[in-house]
Amino acid sequence: MRRVIPLFALAVLVTGGVAASQTRRWVSDTAADLVRGRGEGVAVTSDGRLVPVARWRAALTLEEPTALAAVVGPKGSIIVGTGHPARLVAIEGGSQQVLAEVPAEQVTALLGLPNGDLLVATVGPAVIYRYHSGTLAEVGRLGAGGVWDLALFQGQVVAAAGPPATLYHVTEKGLERWVELPDTHARCLAADGDSLIVGTSGKGYVLRVDTGGTVGVVADTPFTEIASLAVAPGGVVWAAAVVGEPEEGARGGVTSKKPAGAAGAKTAKVSSKAASLKLPKLNGKTAASELIRVTPDGVVLSVHRFVDQVVSALAWDGSGVLAGTGWEGEVWRFEPGGLGARLAVVDAVQVVAFAGRGRIALTQGPASVLVRDPSKPGGGTFRSRVHRFKIPARFGSFRVAPRRPGVRIRFRSGVTAAPDHSWLPWTDWLPAGSGIVPLPPAPSLQWELEIPATALGGIDLVEVAYRQINAPPRLESVKVAEPGAVWLASPPPTGQYIQVDHPDENGFFTVLSRGKKAASTTRNGKKYWRVGFRTVSWKARDPNGDPLLFSVELEGEDGFILPVRKDLDRSQLAVDVTAVPDGRYRFRVHATDRVRNPGHALAAMALSRWFTVDNTPPVVSFRRKGESWLVEVRDAASALARAEYSRDGKAWKPLAPEDGMLDGTVEHFRIPVVTGRHLLVVRAMDRHHNRATAGVTEE
């Protein structure tokens, strides 16, 4: 039979629990949270709303494996440049027509001219063709490298090529070298009034070239390639910086020349840099790409960093910037001030180009042409990210706001972090206003909204109530400190050793009060000594994050269970053990989470190691033998820790045991006799700080 004897008063020190609520809510109401989901016909706005938008639809999936360039033809058709084989393909009304077979590996850029002609740039070989009235004619050819982009600048066509990075004027006579740039490739072009913006590959520069051919560095990014450019009204430049493939041999300077035939050619120098791969970080992870914005006065701003997505295409849609990405085909949209959110996820690996002010998108994997009409929102669905619970949760009510006719919601749950075959199927569609999530407990949950075109104001909040299944607390360790050691948050007035004279209402043992100001940076406080105390500390956690209450008991070797304290919210006690007989004991620590789980509380218990309680001082005895005093110090329970002697009140001197080591419960010492009458005093202390003093008179 368990016998309980209420005895203890104690010192309570240090840590408390962390509060947690019974019912919690998964709230999705910010752009930062919503952009982690994916929509089709539903966009995430920069202010955190889900709104219906025009859906991207596949105008055509091409037979060719790649397509990197597209323009809108004079009669509204979409003209696409493909690769492997390289062709010009016209798409109209859901059908396609091959306009020309291009003698190259890949069409890299298309440019429609004011007279209706089409310029075609290629790689493998690097050639520019003119397409006119059904005929493809060569305009100019480079001996190596490729032509990567075309732009109409101040009435002249400029071609970007490399390696080395070079700008050419495209004339009736062919290609005329205009500017050499300090990089491997001139990758992309965008006209900005009287300046031409150039993105390079190899070192990742954004350069500005004026009509006279003078080059200035706009941005020197830590990435190796500028994949795309877009210029907004007012001279704001947007650039997509990615990790490309830096090549050796980029030129260290740039020779800038005026167009052929111009008088007074001049040369400008721009210093180069080694390709830097010290890429920016996002939440501790290396960014795969970055969207930057350059203000008209030259300030370079980081707009958005992508950890996984690689931005490969930009376009100004009339009021914002579209960004096409891969590794999963996505379209993002950014406001002029820089706020952005995901607009759509398309069925492709990568969005590689835009045309028609963002109305047309080219994708890769598969090579497809997507179109949409921004004036006709179609509505669609939006699927949230998966919400993962540390402990399986029971699901309660849901709420969708504002309440709009036709909006519906459904849910699914599972045990894995990502949906797979083990997940439960989607529930039936439910009216989106409020209701109960009809699913059993699970560690993962996902919702999907259906938003019709009529819900123009959108949805700005989805909320799901849940309560984690209660799991028992965990007591990870229980430790007992060395005899007499206690920890306080502030020092006592008595110095390093503490004396407390008055018991408290809990019993005849005293309580060591907790100070208001910490005297140490350690978790436990600062170490002091109090004879007769043993400090027990423990580590505990609750899987649900519930606050815990603790109870402490002292168990004797004979089986007695002695209650010490109940309902503590801290993890350390300094217990006065002078109230129990000498012997072996251990602490029992109990933890409960009943504060947050009334009526359904769970508990845990852990034991400390066995330790010795020794409140009995050593015994010192003297015996004279010849010219020496033989001193024996004997302790009933613990080893001796110190022995010293004094003669006639002089300073204490340490005693060395005869066996050379002070480590036993019985030790012998030898002190030489001194002639004359003297008082010899010996004092000894055991490991539990119990002290004894004895003396003898020498004659």
- pLDDT of the residue at 182: 92
Give the list of residues 6+ apart from residue 1 with CB closer than 8 angstroms, or none: none
Does residue 506 have a pLDDT over 50?
Answer: no
| Cα–Cα distance measured from residue 146 to residue 184, given in angstroms and rounded to the nearest whole number | 11
Cβ-count burial of 618 within 10 angstroms (0-12 exposed, 13-18 middle, 19+ buried)? buried
- Regarding whether 508 and 603 lie in a shared domain, the answer is yes
Dump pLDDT digits (tens) for 361-402: 999 989 999 998 877 777 889 999 999 998 899 999 999 999
- pLDDT of the residue at 212: 92
Q: What is the CATH number of the domain that holds 686?
A: 2.60.40.650
The label of the residue with tokens 């002070």 reads 662
- pLDDT of the residue at 363: 94
| Cα–Cα distance measured from residue 17 to residue 15, given in angstroms and rounded to the nearest whole number | 7
Highest mean pLDDT among 284-288, 294-298, 468-472, 608-612: 608-612
Total residue count of the chain as it appears in this document: 699
- Regarding whether 519 and 424 lie in a shared domain, the answer is no
- Regarding whether 391 and 519 lie in a shared domain, the answer is no
Dump pLDDT digits (tens) for 602-640: 999 999 999 999 999 999 999 999 999 999 999 988 899
Q: pLDDT band for 413, please (50, 70, 90 cuts).
A: very high
Concatenating the DSSP letter of every residue in 19-30 gives ---SSEEEEE-S
Asked if 555 and 5 count as a contact pair (C-beta separation under 8 A), the reply is no
Domain range for residue 644?
619-698
| Element housing 32 (H / E) | helix 31-34
Q: Is 358 left (phi over 0), alpha (psi -120 to 50) or beta?
A: left
Task: Give strand pairing partners of 239.
Answer: 229, 292
- Percentage of the chain exceeding pLDDT 90: 61
- Regarding whether 455 and 428 lie in a shared domain, the answer is yes
Which range, of 26-40, 113-127, 243-257, 541-555, averages the lowest pLDDT? Answer: 243-257
Average pLDDT over residues 132-151: 94
Residue 283: how many CB atoms within 10 A of its CB? 7
- pLDDT of the residue at 282: 55
The label of the residue with tokens 């004339």 reads 171
Does residue 11 have a pLDDT over 60?
Answer: no
Distance in Å from the first CA to the final CA of the chain: 61
Q: pLDDT band for 75, please (50, 70, 90 cuts).
A: confident
Angle, alpha carbons 409-410-411 (nearest 5°): 135
Average pLDDT over residues 639-655: 93
| Contacts of the segment 501-510: beta carbons below 8 A, 24+ positions apart | 503/9, 504/9, 506/8, 506/9, 506/10, 506/565, 507/6, 507/7, 507/8, 507/9, 507/579, 508/9, 508/579, 509/7, 509/8, 509/9, 509/10, 509/575, 509/576, 509/578, 509/579, 510/9, 510/11, 510/576
Residue 10 identity: L
| Cα–Cα distance measured from residue 181 to residue 401, given in angstroms and rounded to the nearest whole number | 54
Look at residue 216 and tell me if it is in a domain.
no
- Regarding whether 488 and 604 lie in a shared domain, the answer is yes
- pLDDT of the residue at 496: 54
- pLDDT of the residue at 32: 83
- As a three-state string, the secondary structure of 467-506 is EECCCCCEEEEEEECCCCEEEECCCCCCCCECCCCCCCCC
Tell me the pTM. 0.63
Helix (H, G, I), strand (E, B) or coil at 577: helix
- Regarding whether 567 and 538 lie in a shared domain, the answer is yes
- pLDDT of the residue at 355: 94
Asked if 353 and 387 count as a contact pair (C-beta separation under 8 A), the reply is no
- pLDDT of the residue at 38: 83
Look at residue 77 and tell me if it is in a domain.
no
Dump pLDDT digits (tens) for 424-434: 999 999 999 99
- 87, 252, 336, 586 from 107: Cα distances, Å: 7, 30, 31, 81
Look at residue 406 and tell me if it is in a domain.
yes
- Regarding whether 561 and 522 lie in a shared domain, the answer is yes
Higher pLDDT, 522 or 381: 381
Q: What is the CATH number of the domain that holds 589?
A: 2.60.40.10
Look at residue 582 and tell me if it is in a domain.
yes
- pLDDT of the residue at 378: 79
Cβ-count burial of 52 within 10 angstroms (0-12 exposed, 13-18 middle, 19+ buried)? buried
Look at residue 332 and tell me if it is in a domain.
no
Asked if 429 and 361 count as a contact pair (C-beta separation under 8 A), the reply is no
Task: Among 597, 613, 629, give the residue marking a domain's end.
Answer: 613
- pLDDT of the residue at 557: 92
- Regarding whether 633 and 520 lie in a shared domain, the answer is no
| Cα–Cα distance measured from residue 562 to residue 511, given in angstroms and rounded to the nearest whole number | 17
- Regarding whether 497 and 595 lie in a shared domain, the answer is yes
- Regarding whether 639 and 534 lie in a shared domain, the answer is no
Look at residue 190 and tell me if it is in a domain.
no
Q: How many domains does the chain have?
A: 3
Give the list of residues 6+ apart from residue 416 with CB closer than 8 angstroms, or none: 422, 423, 444
- pLDDT of the residue at 484: 87
Q: Which of 538, 551, 406 minimizes the C-alpha distance to 475?
A: 538
Helix (H, G, I), strand (E, B) or coil at 466: strand
| Cα–Cα distance measured from residue 558 to residue 335, given in angstroms and rounded to the nearest whole number | 76
Look at residue 432 and tell me if it is in a domain.
yes
- pLDDT of the residue at 495: 53
Task: Among 554, 579, 613, give the residue marking a domain's end.
Answer: 613
Look at residue 562 and tell me if it is in a domain.
yes
| Element housing 139 (H / E) | strand 135-141
Task: Among 613, 639, 660, give the residue marking a domain's end.
Answer: 613
Higher pLDDT, 505 or 63: 63
Computed over every residue of the chain, the mean pLDDT equals 85
Helix (H, G, I), strand (E, B) or coil at 31: helix
- Regarding whether 514 and 608 lie in a shared domain, the answer is yes
- Regarding whether 641 and 692 lie in a shared domain, the answer is yes
φ, ψ of residue 323 in degrees (nearest 5): -125, 120
Does residue 567 have a pLDDT over 70?
Answer: yes
Number of continuous H segments (helices) and E segments (strands) in the chain? 1, 59
Asked if 604 and 588 count as a contact pair (C-beta separation under 8 A), the reply is no
